[in-house]
Structure 1
Amino acid sequence: MTRTALLIIDCQNDFFPGGKCELEGQFEAAGNIQMLLTNARVQDQTIVHIQHHFKEKDAPFTVEGTIGAEIHDMAKPLPNEPIVTKYTSNIFLNNNLKQILDDENVEELVICGSMSKDCIAAAAHATTELGYPITIIYDACATREPGSCDTSSQQEFVQAAIMASLSFICSNIVSTNEYLQRHSLA
């Protein structure tokens, strides 16, 4: 059986209502992340929480050491689930993520989180370049319009465009329900 890892990318307080860069649909995406987490935990899959930190105190969001940079309660890691910190959009750069995946003999990745237009897209590219087959759970991802931290009615169009472009490198872009129907123990 193929060993799969669930990567939850940047599900951090600053992207929720009241945060410095609220993403439209973040609560809905986090609700789907909770379902994916439950399924992965029941199946004893590898789960890795990835958080983006900016070291610069004047950064627009997720400044290291602030509450906004912390993983949101809706996706809180269990003590045995590793947390990987990244300082760029590339989830593998200058951290131990690849080592964690190698140590766990992971062969396939499931990706969800924030922001679709930045870190999810970068993660998709980086993982395929390393040879991992990936599944992106599109409704467990949230995004925003380029160049703004304001919520917008255009978010769903931005999300659709991003997922359409990612379909060229990842043919497996599915909803939470589609994924769980195929991969749950029930």
Structure 2
Amino acid sequence: MKNQDGKSALLLMDLQKGIVSRFAEQDEALYPFQKALETARKHEIPVFFVRVGFSEGYPEINPKNKTFSAISQSGGMTISEEATQIHDSVKPLENEPVITKYRVSAFTGSNLEVILRAQGIDHLVLSGIATSGVVLSTLREAADKDFSITVLKDACLDSDPEVHEVLTEKVFPKQAEVKNIADWTDHLN
């Protein structure tokens, strides 16, 4: 699907069982992600699922990394575990790639950029958990890599609603278009 910015792709980020269970206690919290996925598929926009996961023994985790070093001590989040699998409510189709990353940004340590460039994608539609984590980090890196970006405000979750609001209203608009799913859908129609 082309828009005025070029070929687009939807990134559904960190919608994996171990993260969804911490942020989305009610099923309704996942409806916006399901709607974004349904819209992308309807308009033949490629969908990429991004998850965070680690190899057995955690060779990717440096003890100085405050975010991930606790995982290497307590265990969990290896790529084979249930916690790193994409949540059943937004299950990927066979032709939709699942990208594994090793840091907060969807780009860091993954093959995402290689696949995007190979497919001629230059416009990213971002959604995910958490707004202050994967969405913020991916937006910043994508902007530095000269992608055009849309953030689906209502398809982002954060444990702090105030932080979500500040990011989507004041920070993200400096580098991205921020839309709700209804406006994005109208734009595609």
Percent identity at matched positions? 23
Is 2:187 the counterpart of 1:182?
yes
Q: Deviations over 1:131-175 (max 9, x none)?
A: 00100001101111xxxxxxxxxx3212102222222222x1111
- CA distance in 1 between partners of 2:178 and 2:25 (Å): 18
Is 2:129 the counterpart of 1:114?
yes
- CA distance in 2 between partners of 1:115 and 1:87 (Å): 16
Counterpart residue number, 1:148: none
Runs (4 or more) in structure 1 with deviation over 6 Å come to none
SS of residue in 2 equivalent to 1:160: helix
Query: What is the CA distance between 1:93 and its match in structure 2?
Result: 2.0
Q: Map of 1:49-60 to 2, 5 A cutoff?
A: 49-54=49-54, 55=58, 56-58=71-73
Kept after mapping to 2: 8 A contact 1:14/1:61 = no
Query: What is the CA distance between 1:182 and its match in structure 2?
Result: 1.2
- CA distance in 2 between partners of 1:39 and 1:169 (Å): 23
Counterpart residue number, 1:161: 166
Task: Count matched residues.
Answer: 169
Unpaired runs of at least 5, structure 1: 145-154
- CA distance in 2 between partners of 1:85 and 1:183 (Å): 28
Kept after mapping to 2: 8 A contact 1:49/1:81 = yes
- CA distance in 2 between partners of 1:53 and 1:112 (Å): 18
Q: Map of 1:115-130 to 2, 5 A cutoff?
A: 115-130=130-145
Which of 2, 5, 12 lines up with 1:8 in the alignment?
Answer: 12
Unpaired runs of at least 5, structure 2: 59-70
Query: What is the CA distance between 1:27 and its match in structure 2?
Result: 4.0
- CA distance in 2 between partners of 1:42 and 1:15 (Å): 27
Q: Map of 1:63-74 to 2, 5 A cutoff?
A: 63-74=78-89
- CA distance in 2 between partners of 1:35 and 1:50 (Å): 17
Q: 1:125 to 1:38 in 2, by over 3 A?
A: same
Q: Map of 1:13-92 to 2, 5 A cutoff?
A: 13-16=17-20, 19=21, 22-23=22-23, 27-54=27-54, 55=58, 56-58=71-73, 62-92=77-107
Q: 1:45 to 1:64 in 2, by over 3 A?
A: same
Query: What is the CA distance between 1:59 and its match in structure 2?
Result: 5.2
Aligned partner letter, 2:167: I
Could you say which structure has the higher helix fraction? 2
Q: 1:8 to 1:96 in 2, by over 3 A?
A: same
Kept after mapping to 2: 8 A contact 1:6/1:111 = yes
